[in-house]
Structure 1
Amino acid sequence: MFAVTTGAMLGINGAMELLLKVITPYTQQRTQVIRAAAEVLAALLKSKSNSRRAVNRSYVPGLLRLHQDWHSHDTANSFVPIRRALLLCLKHIAKLRSGREAFLAAQGMEILFSTIQNCLDDQSLEPIISTGLQILRQCYPKSPLPLVTSSSAYSFPVPGIVTSETPRVLTEEDYEDDGEEEEDKDSDSEDVKEEDDDLETDVNKLSSKPGLDRPEEELMQYKAMCLELSCSFEELESKPGDDLNSDETEYANHHHIPTAASPKGLCLNKDQISGGQEKEVPVQTSLLSRVKMERSSVHVTSERGPGMNSYQNVHSNGPGIGSSGSDVSDIQASFREDAWDMDAISCPRISASFSNSTKTRETAEFIDQLLQTHPKPMVFHDPYLYMAKARRTTSVADFSMMAFPDFWGHCPPLSAQPMLQRKCGVQRIKILEDVRRLIQPSDIINKVVFSLDEPWPLQDTASDCLQFFSAFESGNLRKAIQVREFEYDLLVNADVNSTQHQQWFYFKVSGMRAAVPYRFNIINCEKPNSQFNYGMQLTLYSVKEALLGRPTWVRTGYDICYYKNHYHQRTAVTGAASGKCYYTLTFAVTFPHAEDACYLAYHYPYTYSALLTHLDILEKSVNHKQVYFRQEVLCQTLGGNSCPLVTITAMPESNSADHLEQFRQRPYQVITARVHPGESNASWVMKGTLEFLVSSDPVARLLRENFIFKIIPMLNPDGVINGNHRCSLRGEDLNRQWLSPSAHLQPTIYHAKGLLHYLGSIGRSPMVFCDFHGHSQKKNVFLYGCSIKETLWQAEATVGTSNLSEDVSYRTLPKILDKLAPAFTMSSCSFLVEKSRASTARVVVWREMGVSRSYTMESSYCGCNQGPYQGLQFGTGELEEMGAMFCLGLLVLELKSGSCSHQLLTRAAALLNAEEESLDVYLQRGSSNSSIASELDDEPPCLEEIEYGTGTDSSLDQEGSFSELDRQIQECAFHKDEGDEEEEGTGKGRKAIP
């Protein structure tokens, strides 16, 4: 209406007093004048000086009285604009701390809470409700997180970090407002930049190749990790040292993993020497039959109501699927008789079978009995072997228990689960319940029922509250507080040696009632938005369901919202430019059984011990006369765990000179994953890659015969083991350490980079390098790559690009995957090089090793909004399929290259013809689901709902509404880029260049 400075001058000259005289209590006369006066007053109060003047002159109680008078008398809702304008006056005043204090003193919270409650059922009062909610959220007193310290509950003494003897205890002063006016900023302040400011525009930096970061002679140590290049395959005799470790012999017959420095010089283990089990991993259907164009239909579970449990629809065959009736009856009888300690069964001890405790021995015996009557053995899983691996895994907290889902195993759901349809207005109901805690505290229990910071044990198992537990591998829950009878506030743990990265959670809950909706609020989330606002659900695993033959992680939860809360940390604590704010993830769960033990997780967990188990079983599953499968240790981590390195290729046809030469000349493909521990979806994609590469699928055979795969399936074992979301035990992001890694501080990155440098030094740089990640802000699967020209073009750099030469093959693989993989979309791919990403794997491998096809592959935690999986959430099956499709993409990439051999083309053509498709169709056709012209991955804006901005005016000052926003959220129809993160951090996103 007019500039704030003009408004300030008007305020100085008494304009507000004049306007307040015009704004009378309720009347049906001169209403247009009153409306105009109220709206002008609201505009004047945008000035801080005017708002301060209004507080000093006690305008707040008067404005509240005026609003209440109009609200109570305007029963026909004829004067909603006047009522809203009065609320806008209060909203602007509430930007000041003194304004909020005046509002609270005038009982404003109680008054507005009652007003909004009365308006909820009337759609015409939407402007009143939305503005009133903003004021309530602004004026809710800032509170400290209920934690003794902002640091992680776990600490680990590592080189380069000096830890104080006692963690700093937080006080109320740490959460006081830092000034008169707050600013709402993302927690990662360094990422709040203009989109293109971060682009690297220095052509010399983009095109130059830095020197080696270590002495060249050091690279020779990696020769031992490439024995396939020197093995003669002539003397195939076993040597001492292949025997199993004694503590694992009782449970499993698996192979010793040699270290890089092992004296064992032969390339084959004893099973390869003896012929082993002459078989390959079976596949039900060829991968070629599952490409994007062939997916005509997808089996989807029907939508379920809030009271229905997830298992009722995920498994259509009813209880006991895949098991005998007697087995199920026996297990059900044991439940009825309460003959077993469900709590002990649901979280068994790692060394249960070796304990002298009578109770523990009884539990172990029962677990043995359950395993003997296991309804449906899991493919590539062995509980005994898992227990043996878990026993040797080293954790900071010295975990002695195993999570039942990891021990027992997981079968993918039989059908895909749809995204949750957001119920209109559900978030405001949750926020009003939060406000009611402050103004009507009579039913608030506020009892701590679980805490890593308190002496153990804290929980009273005889009490009527839920029981929580998270002290197991990959577990993360720091504290649980019972707020009301069926409502709990939860706090997740920060990464070890860190005060941040609170996103991943994984915990056990037990002692629940059946058919009772429980509300959970994770109150210390950090990211300013989440896919939980756009149809994503968390995951649940029921122990009773598993024992009944349904051992499955399923998507669960309803009434899910993610929004900014009233918890705050001041600048002095965070060290940032502004105070740190937090967000609440709230969801309701109705558990499938009473007195069950259920596990809840941010995403499908995949532990380090599960990886080791999987690799050993894979190694025993292959035909070693045909498949070269070697696992070894890349290095030891800071926490004392081994980082596996896997080599997969086809065995040479014979040990003749020609066949050995062909074997050794195969190009390398290097794949890594799980540098960020919370991105468990990356491990499921990797699982699909590994299983496919050793399978009997004809495509897998071609890949093995033409490439050597070097795979590091878990770059950050310590972080995964200890329940971190993003960091190593040093509290640092390992994917920001590739420029100058230290062998002592970042050993996995140092040796992964060293291996790549070694391959380059012998002229064997990989054709493709890809690092698997997960993404929490976007849907689908997509790639990030590197391009000088696209970066300069996007940045509108003045330097000319016409003279720059660049290998444009970096775009070929994503285009291929866009045509083949149901979950993949080209529209989200980006090939820009940012300054802040200079130390990531993708950029370093591209710049220092000269690998033009250096990628990060991002998989959504949520699901797809395009293609055959549109509207569906990812299950582990879809993620594993993506891992296999990536391998198919590598084959097609080779077929499209000019260096492809005639023999491979001939064999591939025959294979494709056998699938009733021609080679040309697979290489040239366009995908009907490809989104070239539009971007489908981005969500509608949620700023008005998630935030309650006090530093800047929100769009609520216009005639916006929450109902319209809810409609947009449900339809996901607004395509505004949310920004990439994970490997790409939380920086602003950019459109892919066509």
Structure 2
Amino acid sequence: LFSESNSRQAVNRGYLGELLRLYQDWHHNDVSNNYIYIRRGLLLCLKHITNIQLGRETFLGSQGMEVLFTSVQDSLSCKNLDPIITTVIQILRKCYPKECLPVVNARSSYFFPLPGNAKAEPPCEGSEGKWLEGEFSDYESDGEEEAEKDLDNEDVDSKEEDYDLETDVNKLRSRPVLDRPEEELGQYEAMCPELSHNFQELESESEEEKSLEDRTESLPSTPSHFIPSATSVKHPNCRCRNQSVTEMGLDPGKKDFKVPLQSWTKKEKCRWDPIDEERDIVEASQDADSCEEENPARSHTPTLRPLPKEAAWYKKMFYPECEASINPSDGGRLESSDIVTNLLEKHQGDIPFHIPHFYIARAKCVKSIPDYKDLAFPDFWGHQPPPYSKPMLERKYGVQRDKVLDDVRRLIRPGDVIGRTVFDLEASYSSPGAPGCLTFFSKFESGNLRKAIQVREFEYDLIMNADVNSNQHHQWFYFEVRDMKSAVPYRFNIINCEKFNSQFNYGMQLVMYSVKEALQGRPCWLRAGHDICYYKNHYCSSAAAGGGMRGKCYYTLTFSIKFPHKDDVCYLAYHYPYTYSTMMSHLDVLEQNRNPKKVYWRQQTLCQTLGGNPCPLLTITAMPDSKKRDDLEQFC
């Protein structure tokens, strides 16, 4: 049965059905599990036969999926039967009928005409579902037939063939070994003080440094060496305007920086100067207005996603004196301006390098292809480092095969599947969610949820949107979910991942941000999720949709989460999100908080992105010790 011709003859002579019946007979009678190798030998015969398309079709027609699925349920609790379970899982995965993703087109929902490509057109709709008759048949015929050719012995055949099922961290690439004893590396410590210096405990500047600054201020300037300063270069407040350079230089008389970087420590909070803060807020508002004047197409103001006014925790937090008298006649939503006003009153101002007003001003200047109008709460509010370190998640035994069997259960028992679309990025309208159903959203910067399908009461299939003008790169995810119940395990399946394997199989967890926790003084992205695994599913793409790769297979990232609060608003992401608007607002805050006597800061626009946003180029270094010729030459 190693060869295709022998497998085809076995199918034509009806041996596949006999092998299934023979396996069933051994399974029912081998109660004491004394003949495991005989049972596995029968499964290996089925595995070889199903390498060809004819074998898979005959296997499905002989109810082979139901037979193996039912038989393996009795063996999951016995570790001695792992060889049988593993072989059954491989057969079930191989014979599961291939399907296309439940989307109109595999390409990104967002299209951007590239410069110089006048013929570029948006992808036509309906093309993803037409490949089942043509290319899919070709893929089935020669798609996995080379997996087990010319194997010399059964030991080689018994090895795990599916790379995504490999979860032993010891089999990963080994770490590089030092080429010399570790003791000998101590002699280089003086050359790398950053490896041993404790930067968390920065001491105040010494008297010698202060006297050096005083001497520096009194030194005459040298005309032959010019240091750009704020007075010598145009310095607009909002760098999203038509500027080319933003520079800050030696300006001893200027003392408008609020908090030096040295004051940001874990044990200290920023003490804002009310006058400076009010001035910065006014400047940020003026910056946003100027962006609006110069770009009338973006005349809207980014708004914050509405919070659930009907939730008990929201009433208690914002209206403690009249909690029972609130009338949610407006559909449970507040106006965006009221939300922002209420939230800013509660903001502690203790998040390092983050000012919500700066972020809003920056977000209004950013140009996006989807023309985002909503702000994600974590980006607006900011976040603090996690309060504690968390080890890698210990993997639960057998979790991956359990998830694969759950997928097979959908095929065998389709009546148990709800199949309701609860979020669709391409829908022209948003339909209200069913009672007890989660509400999804991702139309904000870096959000990329494309579609959410409710499979069971607490289980959802998710499809991520590809990069702009692309049909690939679906590994990142970032979306909002609300209307949840507390202490209930919700399962999420991201079904269009592309990597062959993932760190999620080795203890990595996703990150979650709770709005309620943030408003209670704990604005943190925390590692969350259990029963996490990553495996190949039955979805495939056509050659046209797969970028020329015929029958490209997709992978599923599945995880379960128990949300900490009822009716909370939570954000789930692959890793800590860091948007373009956040970066630009961080640059604003850093520039405001630097010490111009010590730090030279120069910001230039390297170029404009295809979307029309400036790409900043920073030059940050120490100011010269003095205005002497030697020091200035070293600086230049």
- Asked whether the two chains share a fold, i.e. TM above 0.5, the reply is yes
Q: Which residue is equivalent to 2:621?
A: 649
Query: Can you list the C-alpha shifts for 1:801-821, whole angstroms capped at 9, x where unaligned?
Result: xxxxxxxxxxxxxxxxxxxxx
**Greater Cα offset, 542-551 or 462-471:** 462-471
CA distance in 1, matches of 2:373, 2:322: 25
Q: Which residue is equivalent to 1:384?
A: 357
Query: Can you list the C-alpha shifts for 1:339-387, whole angstroms capped at 9, x where unaligned?
Result: 598x999xxxxxxxxxxxxx76x33223222222224621110111101
Instruction: Describe how 1:247-258 pairs up with structure 2 within 5 A.
Output: none
Q: Which residue is equivalent to 1:427?
A: 400
Aligned match of 1:180 in 117, 128, 141? 141
Sort the Cα spacing of 1:273 and 1:642 in 2 relative to 1 into closer, same or farther, 3 A: farther
Q: Which residue is equivalent to 2:152?
A: none
CA distance in 2, matches of 1:234, 1:467: 52
Secondary structure at the aligned position of 1:661 is classed as helix
Secondary structure at the aligned position of 2:74 is classed as helix
Sort the Cα spacing of 1:333 and 1:126 in 2 relative to 1 into closer, same or farther, 3 A: farther
Confirm or deny: 8 A CA contact 1:449 1:480 kept in the other structure.
yes
Confirm or deny: 8 A CA contact 2:471 2:547 kept in the other structure.
no
Confirm or deny: 8 A CA contact 1:420 1:536 kept in the other structure.
yes
Confirm or deny: 8 A CA contact 1:257 1:633 kept in the other structure.
no
Answer yes or no: is 1:466 the counterpart of 2:438.
Answer: yes
Secondary structure at the aligned position of 2:443 is classed as coil
Q: Which residue is equivalent to 1:754?
A: none
Aligned match of 1:366 in 314, 335, 339? 339
Sort the Cα spacing of 1:335 and 1:60 in 2 relative to 1 into closer, same or farther, 3 A: farther
Q: Which residue is equivalent to 2:317?
A: 330
CA distance in 1, matches of 2:116, 2:88: 50
Residue 433 of structure 1: how far off its partner (Å): 0.7
CA distance in 1, matches of 2:325, 2:398: 42
Answer yes or no: is 1:163 the counterpart of 2:120.
Answer: yes
Secondary structure at the aligned position of 1:460 is classed as coil
Query: Can you list the C-alpha shifts for 1:300-336, whole angstroms capped at 9, x where unaligned?
Result: xxxxxxxxxxxxxxxxxxxxxxxxxx99973594997
Secondary structure at the aligned position of 2:556 is classed as strand
CA RMSD after TM alignment: 3.2
Query: Can you list the C-alpha shifts for 1:425-458, whole angstroms capped at 9, x where unaligned?
Result: 011111111100000112200111111222222x
Residue 151 of structure 1: how far off its partner (Å): 0.9
Instruction: Describe how 1:407-426 pairs up with structure 2 within 5 A.
Output: 407-426=380-399
Instruction: Describe how 1:54-69 pairs up with structure 2 within 5 A.
Output: 54-69=10-25
Answer yes or no: is 1:548 the counterpart of 2:520.
Answer: yes
Sort the Cα spacing of 1:270 and 1:610 in 2 relative to 1 into closer, same or farther, 3 A: farther
Q: Which residue is equivalent to 1:608?
A: 580
Confirm or deny: 8 A CA contact 2:251 2:597 kept in the other structure.
no
Residue 106 of structure 1: how far off its partner (Å): 0.7
Sort the Cα spacing of 1:256 and 1:153 in 2 relative to 1 into closer, same or farther, 3 A: closer
CA distance in 2, matches of 1:575, 1:236: 50
Instruction: Describe how 1:573-584 pairs up with structure 2 within 5 A.
Output: 573-576=545-548, 578-584=550-556
Instruction: Describe how 1:9-88 pairs up with structure 2 within 5 A.
Output: 45-88=1-44
Q: Which residue is equivalent to 1:14?
A: none
CA distance in 2, matches of 1:76, 1:336: 64
Residue 465 of structure 1: how far off its partner (Å): 1.1
Secondary structure at the aligned position of 1:523 is classed as strand
Q: Which residue is equivalent to 1:281?
A: 261
Aligned match of 1:152 in 97, 104, 108? 108
Confirm or deny: 8 A CA contact 1:258 1:633 kept in the other structure.
no
Confirm or deny: 8 A CA contact 1:334 1:340 kept in the other structure.
no
Q: Which residue is equivalent to 1:232?
A: 226
CA distance in 2, matches of 1:504, 1:234: 41
Sort the Cα spacing of 1:54 and 1:421 in 2 relative to 1 into closer, same or farther, 3 A: same
CA distance in 1, matches of 2:76, 2:366: 53
Sort the Cα spacing of 1:134 and 1:639 in 2 relative to 1 into closer, same or farther, 3 A: same
CA distance in 1, matches of 2:454, 2:519: 29
Instruction: Describe how 1:663-702 pairs up with structure 2 within 5 A.
Output: 663-664=635-636
- Structure 2 regions of 5+ residues with no counterpart? 148-160, 162-172, 174-221, 267-312
Aligned match of 1:108 in 61, 64, 70? 64
Residue type at the aligned position of 1:47? S
Confirm or deny: 8 A CA contact 1:542 1:598 kept in the other structure.
yes
Residue type at the aligned position of 1:616? D
Confirm or deny: 8 A CA contact 2:448 2:479 kept in the other structure.
yes
Aligned match of 2:419 in 446, 471, 477? 446
Secondary structure at the aligned position of 1:582 is classed as strand
Aligned match of 1:477 in 437, 446, 449? 449
**Greater Cα offset, 128-137 or 572-581:** 572-581
Confirm or deny: 8 A CA contact 1:278 1:623 kept in the other structure.
no
Q: Which residue is equivalent to 1:244?
A: 237
Answer yes or no: is 1:437 the counterpart of 2:431.
Answer: no
Sort the Cα spacing of 1:510 and 1:177 in 2 relative to 1 into closer, same or farther, 3 A: farther
CA distance in 1, matches of 2:136, 2:370: 30
Confirm or deny: 8 A CA contact 1:525 1:585 kept in the other structure.
yes
Confirm or deny: 8 A CA contact 1:470 1:507 kept in the other structure.
yes
Residue 182 of structure 1: how far off its partner (Å): 1.6
Sort the Cα spacing of 1:231 and 1:274 in 2 relative to 1 into closer, same or farther, 3 A: farther
CA distance in 1, matches of 2:556, 2:3: 31
Residue 271 of structure 1: how far off its partner (Å): 7.3
Sort the Cα spacing of 1:443 and 1:272 in 2 relative to 1 into closer, same or farther, 3 A: farther
Confirm or deny: 8 A CA contact 1:389 1:612 kept in the other structure.
yes
Query: Can you list the C-alpha shifts for 1:215-271, whole angstroms capped at 9, x where unaligned?
Result: xxxxxxxxxxxxx998625987477x54535xxxxxxxxx888843x5x8xx53797
CA distance in 1, matches of 2:343, 2:83: 59
Query: Can you list the C-alpha shifts for 1:364-422, whole angstroms capped at 9, x where unaligned?
Result: 22322222222462111011110110001000000000110000000001111111000
Aligned match of 1:406 in 368, 379, 387? 379
Residue 79 of structure 1: how far off its partner (Å): 1.4
CA distance in 1, matches of 2:491, 2:141: 35
Structure 2-normalised TM-score? 0.74
Residue 147 of structure 1: how far off its partner (Å): 1.2
CA distance in 2, matches of 1:177, 1:411: 52
Residue 463 of structure 1: how far off its partner (Å): 3.2
Structure 1-normalised TM-score? 0.48
Confirm or deny: 8 A CA contact 1:328 1:548 kept in the other structure.
no
Residue type at the aligned position of 1:181? D
Instruction: Describe how 1:463-862 pairs up with structure 2 within 5 A.
Output: 463-571=435-543, 573-576=545-548, 578-664=550-636
Query: Can you list the C-alpha shifts for 1:47-79, whole angstroms capped at 9, x where unaligned?
Result: 110100011111111111111111111111121
Query: Can you list the C-alpha shifts for 1:159-200, whole angstroms capped at 9, x where unaligned?
Result: 2443235525212335445252323899xxxxxxxx9xxxxx
Q: Which residue is equivalent to 1:901?
A: none
Residue type at the aligned position of 2:359? Y
Sort the Cα spacing of 1:420 and 1:235 in 2 relative to 1 into closer, same or farther, 3 A: closer
Sort the Cα spacing of 1:274 and 1:470 in 2 relative to 1 into closer, same or farther, 3 A: same
Aligned match of 1:130 in 86, 99, 104? 86
Residue type at the aligned position of 1:178? Y
CA distance in 2, matches of 1:482, 1:344: 24
Query: Can you list the C-alpha shifts for 1:125-173, whole angstroms capped at 9, x where unaligned?
Result: 2222111111111111001111111111100011244323552521233
Q: Give the structure, 1 or 2, with the largest relative contact order (CA under 8 Å, sep 6 or more).
A: 2
Sort the Cα spacing of 1:272 and 1:164 in 2 relative to 1 into closer, same or farther, 3 A: farther
Q: Which residue is equivalent to 2:178?
A: none
Secondary structure at the aligned position of 1:589 is classed as strand
Confirm or deny: 8 A CA contact 1:447 1:483 kept in the other structure.
yes
CA distance in 1, matches of 2:325, 2:427: 30
